[in-house]
Amino acid sequence: MDYVEIEKLKWRSRRSMLELDLYFERFILGGSFSKLTEQELIDYQYLLTLDDGDLLLLFQEKEVLANVEMQKLVIKIVNANF
């Protein structure tokens, strides 16, 4: 993905709920986001299309995605550290 697409992903990581903002902020500012592979970026883009309530359930590990790679990305986001 080019620079603009990546900036777009960062902007779209702004959500309606503070909880989600905090997960994504940690992931982005902590440096994990910049290490994503091309495929992971595509998965990330998909995650951002989900409803916020559903994202929260995933991040709180109350629900799990069937797609194993995508679920790994969810766990990466949840476990990101500053």
Partner 1 sequence: MSLPILKFDAVVVGGGGAGLRASLQLSEAGVKTVVLSKVFPTRSHTAAAQGGISASFGNSEEDNWHWHMYDTVKGADWLGDQDAIEFMCKQATDAVAELEHYGMPFDRLDNGKIYQRPFGGHMADFGKKPVRRACAVADRTGHAMLHALYQRNVKAQTHFFVEWMALDLIRDKAGDVVGVTALEMETGQVYIIHAKAVLFATGGSGRIYQASTNAFINTGDGVGMALRAGLPVEDIEFWQFHPTGLAGAGVLITEGVRGEGGYLLNANGERFMERYAPTAKDLASRDVVSRAMQVEINEGRGCGTNKDYVLLKLDHLGADVIDQRLPGIREISIQFLGIDPVKQPIPVVPTCHYMMGGIPTNYKGEVLDGVDEKIVKGFYAAGECACASVHGANRLGTNSLLDLVVFGKSAGNSVIEFVKTMSDHKELPENAGQYSLERMAKLESTTGEKVADVRFAMQVCMQQHASVFRTQKVLDDGVMKMREIYERAKNVVIEDKSTVFNTARVEALEFLNTVEVALATMVAAAARTESRGAHAREDFPDRNDEVWMKHTLYYRDGQKLEYKEVHTEPLTVDYIPPAKRVY
CA 15 to chain centre: 11
Least distance to partner 1, CB of residue 41, Å: 15
Query: Considering beta carbons, is residue 12 or 70 the nearer one to partner 1?
Result: 12
Least distance to partner 1, CB of residue 38, Å: 19
In the complex, the residues that contact partner 1 under the rule CB under 8 A are 3-4, 7-8, 10-12, 14-23, 25, 51-53, 56, 59-62, 78
Provide DSSP, 8-75: HHHHHT--SSHHHHHHHHHHHHTTSGGG--HHHHHHHHHHTTS-HHHHHHHHTTSS--SSHHHHHHHH
Least distance to partner 1, CB of residue 16, Å: 4
